[in-house]
Each structure stands twice: as structure tokens, then as C-alpha cells.
Amino acid sequence: QVQLVETGGGVVRPGGSLTLSCVASGFVFSSYGMQWVRQAPGKGLEWVAFIGYDGRNKFYADSVKGRVTISRDNSKNTLYLEVSSLRPEDTAVYYCAKDHRAARPKDFHYWGQGTLVSVSS
Amino acid sequence: DIQMTQSPSSLSASLGDRVTFTCQASQAITKNLNWYQQKPGRAPKLLINDASNLETGVPSRFSGTGSGTDFSFTIDSLQPEDIATYYCQQYDRLPITFGQGTRLEIK
């Protein structure tokens, strides 16, 4: 069965950075697009970034563009999200998700359990 | 950006009721819309893609319809396990955007 396991969250000071990881199993990772979505405490869902199956197509939300880099290592079945210049408004649970499609974002077919990033001084 | 507006924001219904809520896009998105269910403390779950296609394993009491700008989501015969927040999401144009959610409660 499909499994997505995120790690890397934690408490970070404003202006700091961190890298989130998502290890995938149960499907052919290199064949699907992958995404990051976040959810601030008590709030709705916000799309963050998408990466195509081969890493060539990358798309970002305006709210994080320039501060976030999505990447993947298909040999390790792992998705990454590097986030820098963190702001308090970046505080959220970050979910990785598998897309139905390979090269363009469509949906969040399977989700990880999420990892909490808390930006606070 | 395409704005997705869900209504109502919250809904209280009785077990066995037929429940319907809506999602409106700020511009036409054909059928490029998905629906998710999120239970408290859990990750969301994809229920319906392309406005009306039920995901494998999702009970048939869930259904979706619509195209263009107006979409609806229906639960026939509300069950206790359906208590959750439901989100619509468009993928017609980047950035991907979600509705603000409809919180479903038991009356």
C-alpha cells in the first residue's frame, strides 16, 4: 500500500531554515508528480509546491516562491522541501502528497501524516 | 488566482440525512475539481476527482457534480463516520487553490 512519511519539522526561529523529507513506498515513485501542501493551525489547506516525476517541472505558490525549493531523489524514493527565511506565518503542518499525474499537478491522491513546522522566537 | 468559495462554512445534519454543499469557482474550470474529506487530527483524503469520479474504495453514498464554475458534493444518508471538514480544490490553473472548507456536524 502507498505510504508517505514526512520528517524534518520542528521549532525554528524567524529567518531560519529547514529541510523537510518525505519517504515514499508502495508505488513507483519515479512515475508520479509529488506535492507539498500545508495547513496552519485551525486553518484550511494551502498548496505549496509541485515537482514532476523526473524533477524537471517545478511549480510554487507565490507565498513561498523564492524561499522554498522542492526536489526529489528517485533513487531514494524521497521528496524534499527546503524552506528558508522562515516567517511566523509559515507555521503549519506540512504534508507531502502523491499526485495522480506525472508532469502537471492535478490532485493529492495519497497523503503523508504531516510534519509540524513552528516558527517562533 | 482562481478563488474557490464553499458554502455553507458549516452544516449540522442528522444521521440518515441527505447532505449537499457547494463550491463555486471565480472563473470557469471545466471539471477540473476535486473533493477531499479531512477528519480531525488526520490528513485529508481524496474522495472525488474530476468533479464526479469517485475514488476507488470510497462509499457510493458520496457523489459530486458540476462543471464550469458551480459544483456540488452530496452525501446520501449521513453516517457517523462522515463527520469531517470537506474541501474542494481546483487544478485548472496554477496556483492550485482550495476552498475554505465546509465543516459537517451531527445535529
Nearest to B17 by CA among B85, B65, B81, B74: B74
Residue B4 binned pLDDT confidence (cut-offs 50, 70, 90): very high
Which residues does A8 contact at the CB level (< 8 Å), separation at least 6? A18, A19, A20, A21, A115
CB contacts, 8 Å: A111 with chain B = 43-45
Predicted local confidence at residue A47, as pLDDT: 98
Average pLDDT of chain B is 97
CB contacts, 8 Å: B46 with chain A = 107-110
The amino acid at A67: R
Burial class (CB in 10 A: 0-12, 13-18, 19+), A121: exposed
Q: How far is B81 from chain A (nearest CA, A)?
A: 19
Residue B51 binned pLDDT confidence (cut-offs 50, 70, 90): very high
Nearest to B61 by CA among B47, B51, B49: B47
What is the arithmetic mean of pLDDT over B77-90?
Answer: 97
Interface of B with A (CB under 8 A): 32, 34, 36, 38, 43-46, 49, 87, 89, 91, 94-101
Predicted local confidence at residue A42, as pLDDT: 95
Q: pLDDT digit string (tens) for B9-41?
A: 999 999 999 999 999 999 999 999 999 999 999
Contact A8, A19 (CB under 8 A): yes
Report the alpha-carbon distance of residue A49 to residue A54 in Å, rounded.
15
**Contact pairs from chain A to chain B, CB under 8 Å:** 50
Predicted local confidence at residue A102, as pLDDT: 94
